[in-house]
Amino acid sequence: MKRIRSDKSGFTLLELMIAIAIFAIAGIASLESYLLTMRHMQIITEDKNLNLLSRAKIEELKNEKDAIDEGISGGFAAPFEKYAWAIELSDLIITDTEYGVTFIPYKLKITTAGGDYTSVTPFLKTEEEETSNETAQP
């Protein structure tokens, strides 16, 4: 009697389908993680740009404090042309009676396609008052 020898070499179809399913699940999880990381990088870059532009504009406005009026606005130079800024002065007026100085807080609002970013810088615009307590000269 002849003996039939069955040497199996290779994988069965079921084993291959299970391996492909495992790799597909791992690939989908990796792709989702990659896309989430890319979105977080975009958010961080946008936040960094808004913070940088806000600080630069505040320093620029501090040097031009006499020119600050309510409602002034403008844009930024390249590569930040998609950003716009606007000044909003507060209705609140803070007066230091000891030194006779009035402080008017303001908000610097930077607008992008993704929304608004507001940076509050109090006490930029100051106005000196004439003090009514004049010292008597001998």
In a domain, 72, yes or no: yes
- Distance from C-alpha of 90 to C-alpha of 104, rounded to nearest angstrom: 7
In a domain, 8, yes or no: no
The pTM assigned to this predicted structure is 0.60
The range of the structural domain enclosing residue 93 comes to 13-128
Q: Which residues make Cβ contacts (< 8 Å) with residue 85, sequence separation at least 6?
A: 53, 57, 73, 74, 75, 76, 108, 109, 110, 111
| Residue pLDDT tens, the chain, 138 long | 666 666 667 889 999 999 999 999 999 999 999 999 999 999 898 888 888 888 888 888 777 766 566 568 888 888 888 888 888 777 777 787 888 777 777 778 888 877 777 766 655 445 544 444 444 444
In a domain, 69, yes or no: yes
| Number of compact structural domains in the chain | 1
In a domain, 75, yes or no: yes
In a domain, 4, yes or no: no
